[in-house]
Amino acid sequence: MIPFTLDAAEVYVDCNARFHAAACEASGARRLVRMLGTLWSGIPPLTLIALSDRMRNSHREHRAIVERLLARDADGAAAILEEHIRNAGEELASELARHEDESGKQQGTPGHGSRT
């Protein structure tokens, strides 16, 4: 895992948000820009860096998307974009499930580590 400070994480979060905003704005799809704004407003800013390898994976995926766009390979860029969205969603869902499981075990709720 790449070591980082909170300052580096904040820079990453800012650059990540700018990348997504620029990509959406470049598409010319105003509805997509609004949807992205709504999505980002519901995610705490440092959530994505809390996922184990999301910063590194996201950077790799972003780079691959840009490379495909520069090569004018729309289908390739779209495929990587779909993978990027799926990966982020799966990692976030997995992390949320892990936190719910840990919270349940700590609280001793039935079905979550309790013997009731």
pLDDT at residue number 37: 83
Closest CA to 23 of 54, 63, 60: 63
69 has pLDDT over 80? yes
Determine what percent of the chain is predicted with pLDDT higher than 70: 78
Give me the percent of the chain exceeding a pLDDT of 90: 27
Number of Cβ within 10 Å of residue 112's Cβ equals: 14
pLDDT at 91 over 70: yes
**Dihedral of the CA atoms 27, 28, 30, 35 (nearest 10)?**
0
- 54, 48 in Cβ contact below 8 A? yes
Q: Is the pLDDT of residue 73 over 50?
A: yes
Is the pLDDT at 40 greater than 60? The verdict is yes
The answer to whether 88 and 81 have CB atoms below 8 angstroms apart is no
**Average pLDDT of 29-35?**
90
Range in 1-5, 35-39, 94-98 the model is least confident about:
1-5
Identity of the amino acid at 35? M
Per the model's pLDDT, the better-predicted residue between 49 and 11 turns out to be 11
Range with lowest mean pLDDT among 16-20, 50-54, 80-84, 104-108: 104-108
In order of 48, 71, 80, 99, 115, the CA distances from 74 in angstroms are: 26, 8, 10, 37, 54
Mean pLDDT of the chain: 80
Report the Cα 102 to chain-centroid distance in Å. Answer: 22
Structure-token pair, residue 10: 């904040």
Q: Is the pLDDT of residue 102 over 90?
A: no
The CA distance from 90 to 58, in Å, is 13
Ramachandran bin of 110, using left for φ above 0, alpha for ψ from -120 to 50, beta for the remaining angles: beta
